[in-house]
Amino acid sequence: MGTIFFSAAGVMDKLILSSYAEDSRAYIVCQILTQQVFTVPLLVITGMDFVYPESIFALFAGSLQILPAIFYLSALQVEEASRVTALEYVYPVFVFIGSIIFLGETLTLRDYVGGFLLLLGCILVTYRQDDQKGSASLSSLSPAIKPFLSYWILTAAYYLSMKYLLSSLDEWHIYTWTSLGSLIAIVPLIGIPSVRCQAKGFFGSGYMAIWALISEETFMFLGIIFSIFACGFGSVTLVTSIGALQPVLTLLLVLGLGIIMPGKTKEIRENTNKEALGLKALSFMIILAGVFFIS
């Protein structure tokens, strides 16, 4: 369920960035401010429940998520949503390593094979079609791949932190503390005049932009909640590996949106010709095989 909601949020991000937002940093400010629509009621209902030092650790983990969010949104501005979400899910490889070192999880040969297939499928989808030859060129990687190393490490650290924090905090308090940490982290961004001006302009750009942002943050809230509960139920390695299905779901959502609202496919700028779909289908089949081995 979390993966489905994250996929919907990713498609909404692409639409919003194509139509209403120019600066990814300003859009992150808008996202985090809107996120408090869910955080404040949760604080009222569940209370603060401060646990030292875990609550401070959760604040820190939430603040660190701003950096990978900037990388992710910057990549969405230059690349197709399905490719970006595929690149996103290389981070389970770093979760594998971290879960062994920090959480003491034991991985089998099947897990290692699955991790290799996940990595192979995610890298394969980054190969772009050569416009002159009309085929996929192994020498032309997606421009979105460059900033993703930091994204993978920080996102893996976030999920490992969630698993650790679940021993002291419940799922709802983990969400509220990390959300407050993100709110603290955007203060320096708000201090930048150009970012502050663009964020203010976004909220003044009409009800369609605000409605789209609220919809995106609703999907994101549900995705985060379901993923935190999933970490509570089982292995963080398995949880993050199941998340690798997101590129497949993202492409299906884009294709479905193209049928229902043909004009929106241009805004998303997803390449859906036969060659591109064939390469993506092969990549996604390898990713599915990887998830099968791990699960």
For residue range 99-112, what is the model confidence (pLDDT) as tens digits? Answer: 888 877 777 888 88
pLDDT score of 32: 95
Task: Show contacts of 110-114: CB within 8 Å, 24+ apart.
Answer: 110/293, 110/294, 111/237, 111/293, 111/294, 113/290, 113/293, 114/241, 114/289, 114/290, 114/291, 114/292, 114/293, 114/294, 114/295
Confidence band (pLDDT; 50, 70, 90) for 269? Answer: low
In the chain, the percentage of residues whose pLDDT exceeds 70 is 84
- The total of structural domains in the chain comes to 1
Give the number of other Cβ atoms within 10 Å of residue 183's Cβ.
18
Domain that holds residue 172: 2-294
Decide which of 113 and 295 is more confident.
113
Asked if the model's pLDDT at residue 7 lies above 70, the reply is yes
Task: Report which of residues 38 and 97 the model is more confident about.
Answer: 38
- CA 195 – CA 203 distance, rounded (Å): 13
The pLDDT of residue 114: 83
- Least-confidence region, from 157-161, 282-286, 291-295: 291-295
Higher pLDDT, 43 or 139: 43
pLDDT at 272: 60
DSSP string, 201-242: HHHTS-HHHHHHHHHHHHHHHHHHHHHHHHHHHS-HHHHHHH
Check residue 132 and give its pLDDT: 45
Average pLDDT, the chain: 81
198 Cβ partners below 8 Å, 6+ apart?
21, 22, 23, 26
pLDDT digits (tens, 9 = 90+) for 199-222: 999 988 888 899 999 999 999 999
Q: What is the pLDDT of residues 130-153, one digit of tens each?
A: 544 444 444 455 555 666 777 888
Q: What confidence score (pLDDT) does residue 10 get? A: 85
Check pLDDT > 80 for residue 236.
yes
Q: Is the pLDDT reported for residue 113 higher than 90?
A: no
